[in-house]
């Protein structure tokens, strides 16, 4: 009886036991995994932002929030968006700690469904990149594009005299 109670987790805390969350939605599992991992707080925030941008619900994929973002940060943001494919692979690799990818993929196929191929992941990543750039205030990429830089002289260059024979 007592061992049964232990199994049910009533007398103990199974901090590292993922069996209890196996049936939870993928997004929740991913959040729990991020919180469990030994990342720095900064890394965790970064992974959650990526999840919000590219995860199943894409809560942050409304690109309007990028509009106020300084231009210098945009490459970082694009990098984050591209990161998601890698994050997903990492998440499943954790299921097999010694990194046996074939077995991981086989297990995923068996229990979860077909795992997207690397080509498909790449396609998704490019698609996200495309949508982000399209949805973002593209004109800000080209602000002042017609105005010449300050150090460029406006004087007409004298034409070099050449002999024409």
Partner 1 sequence: MNQQVNNINQPVLPRRSRRLATLIPASHWISLGYSEDDAYMMEDLQNDMKKYCDNSGVEIDLVHYGNFGNDVPFSHHDLMIPHWQKLFKTLNGRTSVQCFDIGGIYMPISVLDIMFPALQSMNLDCLYLCTMGLESDGFQLLSSFIKHNSSVTRLVLEGNKFDDVSTAATFSDAVKDHPNLEMLSFYNCSLSSNIDFLRKILEGCKRKSRLGLVISLDSFGSEAVSVVADYISSNHLLRSINLSDNNIKDSGAAQLATALKNNTNMHGLHLYDNDITEDMESCLRKVLFDPTSIDSIVQSNHRSRVYT
> Which lies closer to partner 1 via its Cβ, residue 51 or residue 81?
51
CB distance 148 to 154 below 8 Å:
yes
Number of residues that this document lists for the chain: 165
CB of 64 to partner 1, least distance (A): 11
- Asked if residue 78 binds partner 1 (CB under 8 A), the reply is no
> Quick one: angle between helices 41-54 and 74-93, nearest 10?
90
- Asked if residue 121 binds partner 1 (CB under 8 A), the reply is no
> Which lies closer to partner 1 via its Cβ, residue 7 or residue 122?
7
CB of 39 to partner 1, least distance (A): 8
Binding residue count for partner 1, defined by CB under 8 A:
29
CB of 83 to partner 1, least distance (A): 15
Q: Site mask, partner 1, residues 48-77, x = CB under 8 A?
A: xx-xx----x-xx----x------------
Interface residues with partner 1 (CB under 8 A) are: 1-2, 5, 9-13, 15, 20-21, 27-28, 31-32, 34-36, 41, 44-45, 48-49, 51-52, 57, 59-60, 65
């Amino acid at each position: 009886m007592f061992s049964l109670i232990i199994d049910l987790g009533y007398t103990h805390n199974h901090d590292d036991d993922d069996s209890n969350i196996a049936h939870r939605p993928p997004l929740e599992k991913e959040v729990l995994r991020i919180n469990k991992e030994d990342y720095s707080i900064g890394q965790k925030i970064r992974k959650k932002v990526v999840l919000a941008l590219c995860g199943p619900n894409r809560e942050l994929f409304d690109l309007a929030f990028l509009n106020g973002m300084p231009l210098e940060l945009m490459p970082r943001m694009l990098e984050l968006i591209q990161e998601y494919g890698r994050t997903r692979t990492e998440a499943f690799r954790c299921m097999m700690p010694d990194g046996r990818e074939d077995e991981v993929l086989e297990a995923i196929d068996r229990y979860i469904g077909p795992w997207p191929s690397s080509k498909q992941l790449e396609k998704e990543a490019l698609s996200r990149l495309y949508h982000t750039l399209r949805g973002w205030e593209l004109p800000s990429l080209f602000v002042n594009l017609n105005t010449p830089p300050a150090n460029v002289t406006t004087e007409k260059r004298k034409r070099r005299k050449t002999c024409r024979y």
